[in-house]
Amino acid sequence: MAALRPITVRKMLTPSLYIQGKGAIYYLGQKALPFGDKAFVIGGSTALQAAGERVKKSLASSGIEAVGWNDKVKECTHAAITKLAEEGKHAKAHFVVGVGGGRAIDTAKATAWKLKVPVISIGTQCASNADGSAESVVYTEDHKFLEVLSLPRNPVLVIEDTEIIAKAPPKYMVWGMGDALACKFEGEAYAKTRALKQDGELPPAAALALGDSCYRSLKEHGQKAIADLKNGNHSVDVDDVIEAVKLASAMAFENTGCALAHALHNGLTRTGQIKGEHGEIVAYCTIVQMMFEKRPVDEIREVAGWCEKVGLPTRLKMLGEPSKAALRTATDYAAEKDSNSRNMPNKMKPSELMIAIDRVERGV
């Protein structure tokens, strides 16, 4: 007799090993060796210019040969993944090493999945929390969102060399914090929804705790970390924010889910009238979600105030000021079509979403 599938299971996805610190690339060779001695290194040109030599040295120190080396990753597309998988197959790679920001890492993860080999992520800036997750976001050649690939396993090793990350322009960290800000609020909405609807995996309390810890860390260290980066001072606050973005927010979002903030982000970007990076738009949309949820005013003010201090937008005029018609298109899409909106406890009405936006625009 076939076993009954439980309706609600609690599960937690994580990378096998996360190492962060100045010079952490040093560990690459010794920690990668159990996976084989033929590496296929994939990254963007800037990332491999910054970290390529150290990657090579570390692999070589453990007798690992870089049998493939591609520093031309620009966009995570199906064509790029297929081409790289061919290269990796030809080189008989035992594992893939992705080096760079979200696009390079996502491409490397999907390439490893096609090759059925493990993947290792090395982040070189702090705008993305993709390094530890088992997802790849695939785009078209002209950077239009196509789909999210859910991969069967997480990276076996994540290395965040803070010396390299701290040298990237500070704006990357601002963007990364904007995206990471959402994980607490979206995760809480997601958990409430799953408990109510009983229609999917329940996020473990550990994932919600990570979202909470991420938010506290951003609040405590975010402003100082950005100021320090601008002054070329690699402080402990910088390390704390890197951990909040790269580890806490990544594991929080992966083990809960996105909700209104990302649904509205997707709606706004589709209008073509919004200007700003992913993390900037998500930060603004997080404030809208909080307003929509009717969270306490003090809590909303705290988030909006923090955004202002670190340089994240709190008004639409900072994001290109889309027209009323564009806002209607965006809210219609977010409430009716975007799958993330199903992770809000109650069905969203576009008109209610417009009211929440209007309240945020009038000042929290």
Paired residues of 21 in beta bridges = 161
Nearer to Zn ion, 48 or 282 (CB): 282
Q: Taking CB under 5 A as the rule, which mask of x and - marks residues 130-169 in contact with Zn ion?
A: ----------------------------------------
**CB 49 to Zn ion: min, Å:** 26
CB-wise, 183 or 360, nearer to Zn ion? 183
Catalytic residue chosen out of the listed positions 94, 228, 239, 262: 262
- Near Zn ion by CB under 5 A: residue from 106, 131, 160, 179: 179
Residue 332-351 contact track with Zn ion, rule CB under 5 A, x = bound: --------------------
For the question of residue 278 being annotated catalytic, the response is yes
CA–CA dist 99, 102 (Å, integer): 9
Q: Name which of 128 and 329 has its Cβ closer to Zn ion.
A: 128
3-state secondary structure of 124: coil
Catalytic residue among 179, 228, 237, 338: 179
CB of 258 to Zn ion, least distance (A): 7
| Encoded tokens for 224 | 């100082």
Specify whether 262 is catalytic: yes
Choose one: 43-51, 117-125, 178-186, 331-339; the region binding Zn ion (CB under 5 A). 178-186
Name the 3-class secondary structure at 15: coil
Q: Which stretch binds Zn ion (CB under 5 A): 18-26, 133-141, 173-181, 291-299?
A: 173-181
CA distance 217 to 246: 12
Stretch that binds Zn ion, among 134-142, 171-179, 326-334, 344-352 (CB under 5 A): 171-179
Residue 262 CB, shortest distance to Zn ion, in Å, is: 6
Q: What does the alpha-carbon distance between residue 122 and residue 109 come to, in Å, rounded to a whole number?
A: 11
What are phi and psi for residue 161, nearest 5 degrees?
-85, 105
In SS3 terms, 251-270 reads as HHHHHCCCCHHHHHHHHHHH
336 CA to centre of own chain:
24
State how far the Cα of 269 lies from the Cα of 284, in Å rounded to an integer: 13
CB of 138 to Zn ion, least distance (A): 15
Residues 190-229, mask of contacts with Zn ion (x by CB under 5 A): ----------------------------------------
- The reply on whether position 293 binds Zn ion by CB under 5 A is no
Which candidate in 106, 161, 221, 278 is catalytic?
278
Q: Considering the complex, what minimum distance in angstroms separates the CB of residue 38 from Zn ion?
A: 34
How many Cβ atoms are within 10 Å of 14's Cβ, its own excluded?
20
Residues 316-335: x where in contact with Zn ion by CB under 5 A, - otherwise, as a string: --------------------
Give the DSSP letter string of 70-94: E----S--HHHHHHHHHHHHHHT-S
234 is catalytic: no
- State whether residue 128 is helix, strand or coil: coil
Q: Helices H, strands E: what count in the chain?
A: 14, 8
Say whether 265 is catalytic: yes
At closest approach, how far in Å is the CB of 253 from Zn ion?
7
Comparing every residue's Cβ against Zn ion, the nearest one is 179
> Distance between CA 48 and CA 40 in Å, rounded?
13
Token pair in block for residue 62: 């453990």
Q: Of 179 and 237, which has the nearer Cβ to Zn ion? A: 179
- Helix 102-115 with 78-91: angle, nearest 10 deg: 50
Stretch that binds Zn ion, among 40-48, 106-114, 175-183, 197-205 (CB under 5 A): 175-183
Q: CB within 8 A of 110, min separation 6: which ones?
A: 76, 81, 136, 138, 149, 151
For the CB of residue 265, give the shortest distance to Zn ion in the complex, in Å.
Answer: 7
Give catalytic residue positions: 179, 262, 265, 278
Interacting residue ranges for Zn ion, rule: CB under 5 A? 179
